[in-house]
Amino acid sequence: MSICDRWLAMDNQPPIEDEEMLPEYDFSGGVRGKHAAAYQRGYCVIIHKVDGTTEIQELTLPPEGILLAPDVRLYFKDAETVNRTLRGLIALLPKENIERIAA
């Protein structure tokens, strides 16, 4: 059973048409990163289109993808900034460490 199939089996409620946040929603006790591991395994996006059709997309982080922790993400605005910083650190490593890691 796919990620989307499991999610759809749990969600049998009709969509809420009102786009306002309902007053009973309280996120004050929320936990940052609570769903990070599930996100890395993959997630389901359901798109309800204006014409009444529904599109379901199952999305996963590519195998070569890396998800930064929220506290680390604060320091990097985009992938190029992360790569430039890592290249700077790599340049500081002794060459024998790089050869050992690459082997």
- Looking at residue 49, its pLDDT comes to 92
- Confidence check: pLDDT of 102 > 80: no
- Looking at residue 81, its pLDDT comes to 94
Indicate the helix (H) or strand (E) that contains 44. Answer: strand 43-48
Model pLDDT for residues 17-74, shown as the tens digit of each residue: 666 777 788 888 888 778 877 777 888 889 999 999 999 998 887 777 888 888 999 9
Q: Are 23 and 7 in contact (CB under 8 A)?
A: no
Which of these, 1, 66, 76, 6, lies nearest to 36 by C-alpha position? 66
Q: DSSP string spanning 13-41?
A: SPPP---SPPTT---TT--TTTTHHHHHH
- Looking at residue 10, its pLDDT comes to 64
- Confidence check: pLDDT of 99 > 70: no
